[in-house]
């Protein structure tokens, strides 16, 4: 008894007066306590088994802007029928509409509801509106009036007639219905025993002030004791988003394996995004990577890459020195200078192969944002992250590439099974697609890989094999985190973000 705080005693007394059970908001009003004080009391009293906290999910309905306008001026069909009654119960449709001055687009709605409610009908031959019956106030109007006065209402507290009207107003998009969680406090047997003995309210002070000291009132004042064992609300320290932490971890693992990071611009030249990868300018293969083209400026500068550009041009046209026949068309340098948003991180690999800083043998990676006009679904977004990698060195084979991909699937994505499928890309041969399986997610395609063709490497001055892969970093994290919808990576669900463990 002596351990109870002032606000806890007031909460118990408020519950006693109302029969032992009351909502938190009502307790706050009855006891003149702040809502937060009642909730603090609830936590302590529940821990002491003096009350039970009951949670109820309820629907709350309120008017939107359009609904508030109707609450003040009446529903469009009500305004129409009132005008029709004043005009003698029959009049030309246009005349009735003009009389009420409905906003543009609301005339058809008003006439439709007028007919649906059976208040009036339109004679199609004469285009006259005729009154069928003098309307009484219907349930939707009653609910509208109620919400206009109170601002909001709990659906479960309405009578059957008004509950039925909720769906009508909701379909008309003039109300908002949302779920709310209400909390009720209920006295337990121990709580009843305590309040029946009698509770004395003694004002408590939480801070010693100079006035109390000077006046000497501190001697008679009861100071609030702090209960360090009292339960408190959960606190969530700031932390990096789980997905960003995964990308950092991915980068650290690649660096630990001896890979160096390569970078490139988001707005890329078509030369690096397509042409340098032996993707023909006039061939359907170009459609493999749909892309966003830059509008202003449309073209970039290729002057510093002229020596590579000439090699790539000849390779496309006749095969140059690669042993290939080429694509057999007239290569456009202007199209190669076209600017676009990078559609895949392989563009970064192309740039790296032209760099004077390229080390051979060498291992490089990039984690970068890519952009494609995809149809958004659970595994596709219009912008996404790819992890790209290349390994340059003598005597490299497909076996080494498959080993790298297996490491990604098993160690980074925590996959349970994986499989490789033959695939096609204009810039690799052989080409392999990686797919992996995890029970919580199912099978998921991660991306493509292969060995760069001579038509890619030789024009860029590289005379040894280059292993290359481009995998969806978003999908790797989805499998690791057990997420089946890529859109959830960018969710505003704070509860998930807070509770998601860091690896």
Enumerate the β-bridge partners of residue 120: 131
Strands 51-63 and 152-154: antiparallel
| Residue 454: inside a domain | yes
Q: Mark the ranges of the chain whose per-residue pLDDT is less than 50.
A: 1-2
Do 415 and 463 sit in the same domain of this protein?
yes
| Residue 97: inside a domain | yes
Q: What is the CATH number of the domain that holds 204?
A: 1.10.10.10
Enumerate the β-bridge partners of residue 433: 421, 448
Residues contacting 349, CB < 8 A, separation 6+:
262, 364, 366, 388, 390, 468
| Residue 61: inside a domain | no
Do 255 and 401 sit in the same domain of this protein?
yes
In this prediction, residue 468 carries a pLDDT of 93
Do 402 and 493 sit in the same domain of this protein?
yes
Do 109 and 250 sit in the same domain of this protein?
no
Question: To 10 degrees, the CA torsion angle through 338, 471, 422, 390?
Answer: 70
| Residue 292: inside a domain | no
Give SS3 for 95: helix
Pairwise CA distance, residues 503 & 501, whole Å? 6
Cα distances (angstroms) measured from residue 449 to each of 39, 51, 442, 452, 472: 57, 63, 21, 9, 12
| Residue 298: inside a domain | no
In this prediction, residue 492 carries a pLDDT of 78
- For the chain, the domain total comes to 3
In this prediction, residue 368 carries a pLDDT of 92
Q: What is the CATH number of the domain that holds 249?
A: 3.30.930.10
In this prediction, residue 104 carries a pLDDT of 62
Do 108 and 211 sit in the same domain of this protein?
no
**Helix spans in 172-305 (H):** 189-197, 210-215, 242-256, 270-273
Domain range enclosing 190 = 6-53+183-223
Do 23 and 103 sit in the same domain of this protein?
no
Do 404 and 459 sit in the same domain of this protein?
yes
In this prediction, residue 473 carries a pLDDT of 87
Do 74 and 120 sit in the same domain of this protein?
yes
| Residue 457: inside a domain | yes
In this prediction, residue 284 carries a pLDDT of 66
Do 410 and 440 sit in the same domain of this protein?
yes
In this prediction, residue 453 carries a pLDDT of 94
Do 72 and 206 sit in the same domain of this protein?
no
Do 107 and 208 sit in the same domain of this protein?
no
In this prediction, residue 411 carries a pLDDT of 83
Neighbours of 318 (CB within 10 A): 14
| Residue 293: inside a domain | no
Q: Please, what's the b/e burial string for 233-253 (b: 16 or more CB within 10 A of its CB; e: otherwise)?
A: eeeeeeeeebbebbbeebbee
Domain termination site, one of 108, 136, 164: 136
HSE-CB for 264 with a 13 A CA cutoff: 31
Do 198 and 258 sit in the same domain of this protein?
no
| Residue 316: inside a domain | no
**Helix spans in 48-188 (H):** 65-73, 76-86, 93-100, 107-116, 139-150, 160-171
């Amino acid at each position: 008894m002596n351990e109870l705080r002032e606000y806890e005693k007031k909460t118990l007394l408020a519950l006693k007066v109302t029969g032992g059970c009351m909502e938190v908001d009502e307790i706050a009003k009855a006891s003149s306590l702040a809502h937060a004080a009642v909730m603090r009391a609830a936590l302590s009293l529940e821990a002491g088994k003096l009350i039970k906290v009951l949670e109820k999910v309820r629907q709350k309905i309120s008017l939107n802007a359009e609904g508030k306008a109707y609450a003040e001026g009446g529903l469009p069909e009500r305004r129409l029928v009132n005008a029709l009654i004043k005009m003698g119960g029959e009049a030309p449709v246009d005349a009735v509409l003009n009389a009420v001055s409905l906003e543009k687009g609301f005339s058809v709605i008003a006439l439709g509801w007028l007919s649906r409610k059976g208040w009036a009908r339109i004679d199609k031959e004469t285009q006259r509106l005729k009154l069928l019956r003098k309307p009484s106030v219907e349930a939707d109007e009653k609910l509208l009036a109620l919400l206009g006065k109170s601002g909001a209402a709990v659906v479960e507290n309405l009578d059957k007639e008004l509950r039925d009207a909720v769906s009508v107003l909701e379909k008309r998009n003039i109300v908002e219905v949302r779920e709310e969680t209400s909390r009720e406090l209920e006295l337990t047997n121990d709580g009843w025993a305590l309040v029946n003995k009698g509770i004395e309210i003694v004002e408590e002070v939480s801070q010693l002030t100079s006035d109390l000291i000077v006046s000497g009132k501190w001697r008679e004042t009861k100071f609030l004791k702090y209960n360090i064992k009292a339960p408190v609300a959960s606190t969530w320290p700031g932390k990096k988003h789980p997905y960003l932490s995964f990308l950092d971890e991915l980068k650290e693992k690649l660096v630990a394996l001896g890979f160096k990071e390569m970078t490139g611009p988001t707005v890329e030249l078509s030369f690096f995004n397509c042409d340098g990868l032996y993707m023909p300018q006039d061939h359907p293969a170009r459609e493999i990577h749909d892309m966003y083209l830059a509008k202003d400026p449309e073209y970039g500068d290729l002057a510093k890459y002229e020596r590579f550009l000439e090699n790539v041009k000849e390779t496309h046209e006749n095969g140059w020195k690669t042993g290939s026949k080429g694509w057999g068309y007239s290569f456009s340098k202007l199209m190669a200078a076209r600017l676009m948003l990078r559609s895949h991180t392989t563009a970064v690999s192309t740039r790296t192969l032209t760099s004077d800083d390229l080390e051979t043998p060498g291992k490089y990676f990039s984690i970068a944002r890519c952009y494609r006009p995809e149809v958004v679904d659970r595994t596709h977004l219009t912008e996404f992250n790819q992890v790209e990698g290349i390994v340059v060195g003598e005597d490299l084979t497909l076996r080494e590439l498959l080993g790298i991909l297996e490491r990604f699937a098993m160690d980074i994505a925590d996959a349970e099974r994986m499989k490789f499928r033959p695939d096609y890309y204009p810039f690799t041969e052989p080409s392999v697609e990686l797919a992996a399986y995890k029970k919580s997610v199912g099978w998921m395609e991660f991306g493509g890989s292969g060995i760069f063709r001579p038509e890619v490497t030789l024009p860029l001055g590289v005379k040894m094999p280059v292993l290359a892969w481009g995998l969806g970093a978003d999908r790797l994290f989805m499998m690791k985190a057990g997420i089946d919808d890529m859109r959830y990576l960018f969710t505003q669900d704070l509860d998930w973000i807070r509770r998601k463990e860091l690896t």
